[in-house]
Amino acid sequence: MAQGTNPLAIRTKKYQLDKNDYTRMALGQVWSKSWWQALIPLVLFLLPAVFSFSWWWVAGAIIVTLLFVLLRSAQVMSVTQVEQGSPLFEKLTYEIDPRQILLKRNEREGMTLTWDMIERAQKKDSGYMLWLQPPNDAQLPSGWKGWVARTFQVPVFIHMPFRIFNSPNDLKLMESYLRRKNLLA
- The domain spans of the chain are 10-181
- pLDDT bracket for residue 139 (50, 70, 90): confident
If you average pLDDT over residues 36-49, what whole number do you get?
Answer: 88
* Averaged pLDDT, 1-12: 67
Contacts of 58 (CB under 8 A, 6+ apart): 46, 49
Q: Which of 165, 89, 155 is nearest to 126 (CA)?
A: 165
Confidence (pTM): 0.75
pLDDT band at 1 (very low <50, low <70, confident <90, very high): very low
Under the banding of pLDDT at 50, 70 and 90, the label for residue 62 is very high
Task: With a cut of 60, say whether residue 3 has pLDDT above it.
Answer: no
**Measured distance between the N- and C-terminal CA atoms of the chain, rounded to whole angstroms:** 37
Region 8-32 average pLDDT: 87
The mean pLDDT value for 59-66 works out to: 92
